[in-house]
């Protein structure tokens, strides 16, 4: 499917969805965190979409909001898209896991939790992955202060 065809198909679920192309080849859909899990299921299990491969998951700190960016591909049809899910609650940042839909999310969500502090609801193993036990703070957040390991320019 082309980006326009993807957008038309997905828009039937909710005509108020926000789509952008952001100067990339990917159609980008921004969804509310409360809707993310159900939309993820539809993206994978709707036969004409069949987004069966989650190939990249990225955490983001936008300054006021935290977010997760998911890159999806259909290996059957060859189309790709991006889904962005944000939360404005920096103190209790949480988004539903999609690790039971796409197994590749399991590792990436743990990494994002370590580095950005976003908790993934219903994740099967939210244990520390990268940082040493007892590490305080989230090193990839813009407000992270680390005077001991600060890079001097």
In a domain, 7, yes or no: yes
Q: What is the pLDDT of residue 22?
A: 66
- Checking if the pLDDT of 151 tops 60, the result is no
Residue with tokens 């940082």: 131
In a domain, 104, yes or no: no
Residue 76: domain span: 3-93
In a domain, 26, yes or no: yes
- Checking if the pLDDT of 149 tops 70, the result is no
Residue 121 CB coordination number (10 Å): 11
pTM (predicted TM-score): 0.91
In a domain, 149, yes or no: no
In a domain, 142, yes or no: no
pLDDT digits (tens, 9 = 90+) for 13-48: 988 888 986 677 899 999 999 999 999 999 999 999
Identify the band that residue 50 occupies on the pLDDT scale cut at 50, 70 and 90: very high
Q: How far apart (Å, rounded) are the C-alpha atoms in residues 116 and 132? A: 15
Ranges assigned E (strand) in the chain:
18-20, 27-32, 53-61, 66-73, 80-87, 94-96, 119-121
Q: How far apart (Å, rounded) are the C-alpha atoms in residues 96 and 51? A: 18
Q: Which two tokens stand for residue 102?
A: 């796409």
Q: Give the domain CATH number at 32.
A: 3.30.460.80
pLDDT digits (tens, 9 = 90+) for 116-129: 999 999 999 999 98
- Checking if the pLDDT of 153 tops 80, the result is no
User: How many domains does the chain contain in total?
Assistant: 1
């Amino acid at each position: 499917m082309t980006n326009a065809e993807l957008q038309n198909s997905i828009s039937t679920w909710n005509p108020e969805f926000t789509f952008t192309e952001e100067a990339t080849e990917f159609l980008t859909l921004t969804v509310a965190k409360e809707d993310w899990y159900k939309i993820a299921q539809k993206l994978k299990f709707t036969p004409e979409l069949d987004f069966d491969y989650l190939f990249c998951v990225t955490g983001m700190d936008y300054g006021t909001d935290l977010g997760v960016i998911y890159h999806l591909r259909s290996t059957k049809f060859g189309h790709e898209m991006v889904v962005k899910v944000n939360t404005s609650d920096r103190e209790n940042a949480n988004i539903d896991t999609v690790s039971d839909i796409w197994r590749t999310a399991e590792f990436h969500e743990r990494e994002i939790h370590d580095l950005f502090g976003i908790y993934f609801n219903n994740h099967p193993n939210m244990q520390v992955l990268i940082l040493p036990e007892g590490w305080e703070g989230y090193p990839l957040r813009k407000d992270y202060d680390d005077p001991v390991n600060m890079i001097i320019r």
